[in-house]
Amino acid sequence: MQIARLTLCAATIAGLALAGCQKKDEASGSGEPTQKTVTAPPVAGQTTSGQPQAYWRSASNEEGDSISYADDASGSTIVLACPTGSGKLYVNVPSFKPVSSEDRMSMGSGGAVTALVADPNRETNAGGMTGVAAVPSDLGKILPGEGGLSISYGNQKIGPLPPVPAEMAVIFEEGCYD
């Protein structure tokens, strides 16, 4: 159920019709959709019970690209999306509550931080808060950064999350510049 919610969030914030959030397999030419889930590095003291408790998932098609993080144990989720040709990065954190006096969201890892515009009055089906910015030139440093990914909005913060797996970060970044 949580995977379906993440897919809905990605489609809503990016305005994408990601229809299952898959990318066509261009190498095979079969047109069969593919999707990739990568389990995040284990968190100290965390036990697993067959199903991944924390993971990154990527999805894309001709409408755009997205990556999402879900931690089943804490209920933390985030979605990052780039609609094709927009030059924009959308970041949604469903657990963040709107703050009428706050219009800035920050996302970063270590010393690499980017600011996003968050509109607390904007209604969205994705829930939580969404920040929007031009795709940052240092996105390739932020996502797989060793310090992990953190997002803040007002006094609300999520992270540091495990870094986005390097291969997934490269594919997402390339998709954001399409």
pLDDT (average), residues 74-81? 87
pLDDT by residue (tens digit) across 31-50? 434 455 555 554 444 445 56
45 or 126: which leads in pLDDT: 126
pLDDT by residue (tens digit) across 128-143? 899 999 999 999 889 9
User: Which strands make up the sheet holding 54-61, listed edge to edge?
Assistant: 36-39, 54-61, 64-71, 76-83, 88-93, 129-134, 112-118, 104-109, 149-153, 156-161
Tell me the three state secondary structure of residue 7: helix
Whole-number pLDDT of residue 29: 41
Q: What is the mean pLDDT of the chain?
A: 76
Owner of token pair 């969201």: 105
